[in-house]
Structure 1
Amino acid sequence: MTTLPPEPTVPSDPEPHRHRQVAESFGVDAERYDRARPRYPDGLIERVAAACPGGDILDVGCGTGIAARQFAAAGCRVLGVEPDARMAEFARRTGVDVEDGTFEDWDPAGRSFDAVVAGQAWHWVDPVAGPAKAARLLRPGGRLTVFGHVIAPPSPVSEAQIDALRRVAPDSPFAVQGPSSASDAVAIYEAMFAKFVEGMRAVDEFGEPEQWRFEWERSYTRAEWLDLVPSTGALTRLSRDQLDEVSARIGAAIDAVGGSFRMPYVTLAASASLTA
């Protein structure tokens, strides 16, 4: 089984937060992003909300507001910060309060929060400045929690995408062979989250970080998967013709496995509470 390279980052790059052109490409089709991207496990949302007695959450890199709306439904008051104006505007239309800007440069104007969260976004934040700023924004006992999905479709599907990218965009950093198994893909993401933990440990105000893992599954039809893949970092910057060719090849691979597939998801999280 071959899985996709880690979707959130530029493969093999130790500093993905410097790739602003990728980080700010997801808004090219914000409606698709919001429609197709998977939501976060209820257990994760409930765990963060339960540890947030004051109810005020700052959502870093909130995108179209997927996690923000889930936290709001759990009874929290959420403010989003988002560098892509297209994503931010979509989130506002869904009822999310959003301010524009990167987290590092955003001015909190004296405000503080019970929790700072980042879903599928913390890798775009400076690994030193980000945790330090989160600590300054948190109230006593507040918690920083960052989380994201491991996306590992069946081998024929991921291989078709990689082969297609090699044809239409051979210079793409994503046109590389992915991990050889789903467990290898999880290990790559776990290494990324280990770096997040290191960043939290470097801030004296945080206690020892915790790492959480949520496992779940969902089925994808051909149409559903082809709706999701253009929203991933590997494809957001392709031309329409390039995207059409990649989608055709992925679609043919899904047809060959019966027109649908069931995919196991792993959602990882790293979390630390303010002690000082």
Structure 2
Amino acid sequence: MESHELHLDRARGTSFGSVAEQYDRYRPEAPDELIDELTAGRPTRVLDVGCGTGKVARTLARRGLAVLGVEADERMADVARGHGVEVEVAPFEAWDDAGRRFDLLTCGDAWHWIDPDAGVAKAARVLATGGTMAWFWNSSQVEEPVASAFARVYEQHAPEIVWVWGPRDTTRSERVPLSGRDAFSPIEEKVYRRERVLTADQWVGLVATSSDHLRLGAERLAALLRVVHGTIESLGGHVRMQHETTALICHRRPASSTG
């Protein structure tokens, strides 16, 4: 299946629920600089699409915003609710908005699980005029010599996984989901960079929450993670990487401008 068709694989898209607590522990927070930008206009009604365990929603709530999450997996939603996030369980495309409108719509590391056409139409429907839509994703590039060591490990134990240690191949549905859509302003792209250093435990905890790893099955995944952990320990016990969050931001145009 091509990367831009991931939304068709619902089983893979909801596989994260099997490791919901681990996902919540190891997945990175959204950059403060991005949250600063999204809250600068003082939105009062926020919708977090594909909210997962509520990591983005909680960050926004700490800024004093009222946030509603929409999440397709009940297990992920339960973790988010445990952190005080209000969540409604449904795929975004099928979610009943009940006429509600929002000033800000966010989607972190989840837009590729949403049907691009239906998702865009729903976003246009629920965003108030002038409202902001921001979808963003994370990727990291591991530094040498760990990157070369990982390449050898994965070639032997999981050759179908190819981007753990290098730049992510951005899916088409993430990068241009609103192309040619008159309901939205032109897309502005912003990239937030920082260095991260993870221990061997933190690294294997993180990668074990990715869908490509979960697809290996419990036995293969456990064997792979043992080798990865040992490899990191043999190279100093940590993984240093350049981490990027790429955000695409646009605004809902007035209905009169959509032609």
2:255 matched to 1:266?
A: no
Q: How does 1:1-276 map to 2 (within 5 A)?
A: 12-51=2-41, 53-153=42-142, 154-155=146-147, 156-166=149-159, 175-178=160-163, 182=166, 185-186=167-168, 188-189=169-170, 192=171, 195-196=173-174, 198-276=176-254
Shift of 1:235: 1.7
Change (3 A) 1:78 1:32: same
Per the TM alignment, residue 197 of structure 1 is displaced from its structure 2 partner at its CA by 5.0
**Which structure's relative contact order is higher, taking Cα pairs within 8 Å and 6+ residues apart?**
1
- Post-superposition Cα deviations, 1:23-79, rounded to whole Å, max 9, x if no partner, equal 00001011100001111110011111113x232110110000011101111221110
Which AA in structure 2 matches 1:157? F
Structure 1 pair 261/197, CA: closer, same or farther in 2 (3 Å)? closer
The one-letter amino acid of 2:59's match is: Q
Q: 1:104 to 1:177 in 2, by over 3 A?
A: closer
- Paired residue secondary structure (2:177): helix
Alignment partner, residue 257 of structure 2: none
1:46·1:74 contact (CA, 8 Å) conserved in 2?
Answer: no
SS at match of 2:92: coil
Query: 1:265 & 1:36 partners in 2: Cα distance?
Result: 14
TM-score by length of 1: 0.85
CA distance in 2, matches of 1:78, 1:147: 17
Give the partner amino acid of 1:69.
R
Residues 203, 239 of structure 2: 8 Å contact kept: no
Shift of 1:177: 4.3
- Listed one character per residue, the Cα deviations across residues 142-169 of structure 1 (whole Å, up to 9, x for unaligned) are 0111001013334123542343224xxx
Unaligned runs of 5+ in 1: 1-9, 167-174
Deviations 1:228-274 (A, max 9, x none): 11101122234332222011110121022111121110110111101
What SS class does the counterpart of residue 270 from structure 1 fall into? Answer: strand
Instruction: Indicate how the Cα distance of structure 1 residues 196 and 221 shifts in structure 2: closer, same or farther if over 3 A, else same.
Output: closer
1:225 CA drift (Å): 0.8
What is the rounded CA distance, in whole Å, between the counterparts of 2:151 and 2:110 in structure 1? 23
Q: Distance in 2 between matches of 1:122 and 1:131?
A: 10
What count of residue pairs does the alignment treat as equivalent?
Answer: 250
For normalisation by structure 2, the TM-score amounts to 0.90
SS in 2 for 1:15: helix
The residue identity in structure 1 corresponding to 2:248 is A
- Specify the code of the residue in structure 2 equivalent to 1:39: E
Give the % identical residues.
36
Q: Distance in 2 between matches of 1:129 and 1:202?
A: 15
Distance, in Å, in 1 between the alignment partners of 2:102 and 2:222 is 44
Residue type at the aligned position of 1:28:
S
Q: What SS does the corresponding residue of 1:231 show, helix, strand or coil? A: coil
- Structure 2 gap ranges (5+): 255-259
Deviates more, 1:97-106 or 1:196-205: 196-205
- Aligned counterpart, 1:172: none
Paired with 2:80 and 2:250, the residues of 1 have a C-alpha distance of 27
| Aligned residues of 1:62 and 1:80 also touching (Cα < 8 A) | yes
Report the RMSD for the aligned CA atoms in angstroms: 1.9
